[in-house]
A = this chain, B = another copy of it.
């Protein structure tokens, strides 16, 4: 069964103190209906991806909250898998469509993170990790720093190479009017920024962000009136242990590898076919791992190539994180997986404006929960 993208939208990402959780949900969902040119009564179900609203806003049951805001009384529920909540919500929506339960479904990703103090939010985010790591005082920067150290030791990856990921993504984010930090940075600035968790510096890390994104998925091709009909070819999920201590290797995310294998097989597409990808660059090292674990580069080869300018807009071959990625566009955790899909759809529709990748035909999203416990890989074509 073919699954088409009816419409997409994202709110602006950033410190949106003037906007509530409800307001963000409403804005993203109504903009998405407008983009899709469908009436709300055609939406038969709503999936919401969100991680922290219970802990940070004292609000759960976001499924009915969303349908209440949209003005529907259809099926709805919230799906949670830490920073992969958005991707998982898409996966559940795809399943429901494949099961024939619904024809047209909306997926909303949302997170409101900047209204509480940062220590509290950091504690909240660590709820995505293992008990042992949390109790030992580790933060996600510390966990990804461990992976970065191991990668540097094994493959001679340098801080400059990591910094190049942030520089590239800020270059892309500079072209994105929805981005939290729409400005360019240099490698020198990254290397001079405050050390957060050795070797990761402030500008290696994605920020705390408010924002929402929405997509409408449908099996009814007539509902999609655009010429460029974008389709989801596959959406696959794999898991790994919550904690790093239980894993065999610190230089790979096995969940990403497994989800990618399933997704490429299902779509009948190979990594070399992909023109544009949104990768989960919560930290610069995470994009390097993703480029390798998804099969775009051999292990140890991605980092020097990114430093040379590969994966940057204008370069030949694959371009990654044209939205600015989590680093520059921002990372409202439950929204991220949905925003990735929005960006890829815009690219495949040739609607990405200044950040358009020429002749983009095949796109991929990779959304990760925690330090790699959940990975969602979605492949799209037009």
Contacts and interface: CB of A to CB of B under 8 A. Distances in A.
Given A59-B127, A99-B98, A127-B54, A73 B238 contact: yes
Interface string A238-250: 1111110010000
B54 A81 contact: no
Contact of A77 (B88, B127, B128): B88
A320 to B, nearest CB: 25
Interface string A107-136: 000000000000000011011111100100
Contact of A95 (B60, B99, B123, B369): B99
A100 interface: yes
Interface in A123-152: 123-124, 126-131, 134
A288 to B, nearest CB: 22
Complex copy number for this chain: 2
Interface of A is mostly: mixed
Nearest to A370: B61
B374 A61 contact: yes
Contacts of A82: 60-61
A28 interface: no
A55 to B, nearest CB: 5
A268 interface: no
Given A22-B131, A92-B92, A64 B76 contact: no
B92 A239 contact: no
Given A61-B374, A80-B78, A370-B61, A73 B254 contact: yes
A40 to B, nearest CB: 14
A74, A239, A258 — which one has the most chain B CB atoms within 10 A of its CB?
A239
Contacts of A100: 98
A196 to B, nearest CB: 22
B92 A77 contact: yes
A123 to B, nearest CB: 7
Given A55-B55, A99-B99, A101-B98, A61 B81 contact: yes
A353 interface: no
Contacts of A127: 53-54, 58-61
B64 A239 contact: yes
A64 B374 contact: yes
A35 interface: no
Nearest to A76: B239
Contacts of A238: 73-75
A171 to B, nearest CB: 32
A220 interface: no
Shortest beta-carbon contacts, A-B, top 6: A98-B99, A64-B373, A60-B127, A99-B99, A61-B82, A95-B99
10 contacts: A51-B54, A54-B127, A59-B131, A61-B370, A63-B81, A76-B374, A77-B374, A78-B81, A79-B92, A80-B80
